[in-house]
Amino acid sequence: MTEGRPEPGRTLQSMEPPDPRFGVGVRTEGNAVVFALTGELDHDTAPVLRERFDEVFDAPAGTGAGTGAGAGVATEAGTEPPEVVVVDCAELGFCDSTGLNLLLTARLTAVERGIDIRLAGLHGHVVRMFEITGAGGVFSIHPDLAAALAAG
């Protein structure tokens, strides 16, 4: 893992047993870090995603190591944080208010750090949540991962 970013093709692993209702894979795609969400993002599963966001957004400068479950993965000191974060929701089937709040908080953190955050693949209940709450108006939303990565 480069500082705040996993090595290309490498997924951060948690030491805790995974919750079968939710999963998050983290990988790099060019200058972007992609969070691929699966299952149900709710009050019980949000801490898993919060931990992954912390690993990318809060990696201590110059140490080459993040905090949490991804800490200790091989890194290169001095590597810049990602320019872009894409949250791929194509396999996310449910998101409650806790999950929405977490995504909004991640957006604020990204903006504070000069990171462009994009959402991709919203559908069904998840896109409806964004429409009803108006949260879709504060995110850069793309139909799929490829479009989010290609956006400038």
For residue range 113-142, list pLDDT tens digits in order.
Answer: 999 999 999 999 999 999 999 999 999 999
Between CA 114 and CA 142 the distance in angstroms is 20
Backbone angles phi, psi at 150, to 5 degrees: -80, -20
Query: Is 57 exposed, middle or buried (CB count within 10 Å of its CB: 0-12, 13-18, 19+)?
Result: buried
CB 93 within 8 A of CB 125: yes
Q: What average pLDDT does the segment 16-41 reach?
A: 90
- pTM score of the predicted model: 0.78
For the chain, list the domains and their CATH numbers: 22-150 (3.30.750.24)
Tokens of 118: 């994009």
pLDDT of residue 118: 98
Q: Over the stretch 65-82, which tens digit does the pLDDT of each residue have?
A: 333 333 322 223 445 679
Question: At residue 60, does pLDDT exceed 90?
Answer: no
CB 141 within 8 A of CB 118: yes
Q: Which residue would you say has higher pLDDT here, 115 or 1?
A: 115
CB 57 within 8 A of CB 115: yes
